[in-house]
Amino acid sequence: MQKGNCHACHGWAGDGRKTDYQMPNGANLRESALTREIVVLTIKCGRPGRNMPAYDRLAYSGDGRCYGMSPADLKANPLPDPPATLQQREIELIADFLFAKVIKQGAMDRAKCIDYWGSEVDACRDLK
């Protein structure tokens, strides 16, 4: 929940209501129609020309693993630096978490909030 700092852009609930207003606007993942494969690819490779960083430290090392792009291609489509890099197993775990708790789960409510955090926290108190 901390290493990738996803909540800074996507909000703690994954609804696009970011927690750091100096960060770019992230997508509302609760309404996403993306497949798990695309979510893994997006976390791994980022979104060139957008504000989504690549969390794979070798994403654009020249082997074409990300969208077939090379480091030279990123000059026209720069990526921000991630707060940390992630191993493939961490990326897979994040995707699993997102599909279990966020993606296609609808708007956040009190019950989902408690399930998300594992207990009632301040963030849940104002939800219906």
The structural domains of the chain, with segments of one domain joined by +, span: 7-124
pLDDT value at position 1?
60
Please state the pTM of the whole predicted model: 0.89
From the list 111, 104, 126, the residue with the least C-alpha distance to 32 is: 104
Q: How many CB atoms lie within 10 A of CB 18?
A: 18
HSE-up (13 A, CA, CB side) for residue 122 = 0
Q: What is the DSSP letter of 86?
A: -
Q: What is the pLDDT along the chain (128 residues), one digit of tens a residue?
A: 678 889 889 999 999 988 778 888 899 999 999 999 999 999 999 999 888 999 999 999 888 899 999 888 888 888 999 999 999 999 999 999 999 999 999 999 999 999 888 888 988 988 98
pLDDT value at position 55?
97
Q: Is 99 exposed, middle or buried (0-12, 13-18, 19+ CB in 10 A)?
A: middle
